[in-house]
Structure 1
Amino acid sequence: MVEIDAIDRRILNALQRDGRITNADLAAKVSLSPSACHRRVQRLEETGLIQGYVALLDARKLERPTTVFVEITLSGQADELLEAFERAVRTIPDVLECHLMAGSADYLLKVVAQDTDDFARIHRQRLAKLPGVAQMHSSFSLKTVAQTTALPI
């Protein structure tokens, strides 16, 4: 665990809302001098608490409005099979997330597609060919009710 104080928390909250905020504006927002704020941000980056900065894109405007959650059950639990599956799933650009699960499925994938026909293509050409897949269950998202990348701090 990385030790953080109230000022670090304010910095992290501000950066989660706006990763492009200038150091001067961030320093003013958290009541620090710009040099002290810069040192704190550097420390948070060096410790890995801040892993990186990204642009959040609009999937609809990029013609990927369809979100599908895919539960995958593998034919076995051997380390080699799990590792092969995980290596292969990382190569599929349409898979935004892949989680190893405890429960009814081994993995849960979040997949984006243009539409149902595009998902059928992804399913047939990529997902069905993943190593060790025994079963797949797909659920189409009808509406995103809540979505954030900000962690509660």
Structure 2
Amino acid sequence: MPKAKLDAIDRKIIDALQVEGRMTAQQLADKVGLSPSPCARRVRQMEDMGVITGYTAVIDQDLVDLPISVFASIKLERQRESELERFNAAIARWPEVVDCYLMTGQRDYLLRIVVRDLHAYERFLKEKLTRLDGVASIETSFALAQIKRSNRLPVEP
């Protein structure tokens, strides 16, 4: 997909929405120095182009009783396209996997898995991840504390 051509106002809109996605069209327009109609038009255009892919609430893991973040590095037996696609499809079905990256280096994938407790991770590992064909090895690390979490990209106006 070609990169979107964004001007300074588009970038201001993106930056403002990343901080507060629930602001009204008037509030957003005031923040970026436009009237509401052209501002709403720009937002709609960026949604149509796929620059803005959605709006979501940021949830505190601890308060919804999902305090454990597990990072799993996965090595596949082979890196053929069909094996990568099969792995990607399986990961997409599993709600415990909240982030998944195809990596360079010694490991093929890095997953962030969110669970209630160690038993839940053990079930996930035994019932899902280790049953997936083509997985050669899994290395797991548990996060002790979350120092920073952000969904905000460093888009500069």
- TM-score class, shorter-chain normalisation, is over 0.9
1:126 aligned to 128, 131, 147, which one? Answer: 128
Distance 1:102 1:126 in 2: 24
Using the TM superposition, give the Cα deviation of residue 7 of structure 1 relative to its aligned residue in structure 2, in angstroms. Answer: 1.1
Deviation at 1:15, TM superposition (A): 0.3
Unaligned 5+ segments in structure 1 are: none
- Give the aligned partner of residue 41 of structure 2: 39
Structure 2 regions of 5+ residues with no counterpart? none
| Aligned residue among 27, 42, 45 for 1:25 | 27
2:151 corresponds in structure 1 to 149
In the alignment, which residue of structure 2 is the partner of 1:115?
117
* Matches for 1:45-64 after TM superposition, within 5 Å: 45-64=47-66
- Which runs of 4 or more aligned residues in structure 1 lie more than 4 Å from their structure 2 counterparts after TM superposition? none
The number of equivalent residue pairs is 153
Q: Please state how far the C-alpha of 1:57 moved relative to its aligned partner.
A: 1.3
Structure 2 partner of 1:105 = 107
Identity of aligned residues (%): 42
**Equivalent of residue 80 in structure 2, options 78, 82, 87:** 78
Task: Give the RMSD, CA atoms, in angstroms.
Answer: 1.0
Residues 7-58 of structure 1 show CA distances to partners (whole Å, capped at 9, x for unaligned) of 1111111100111100011111111111111111111111111111111111
1:14 aligns to what?
A: 16
On the 8 A contact 1:89/1:130 being kept in 2, the answer is no
**TM-score (norm: length of structure 1):** 0.96
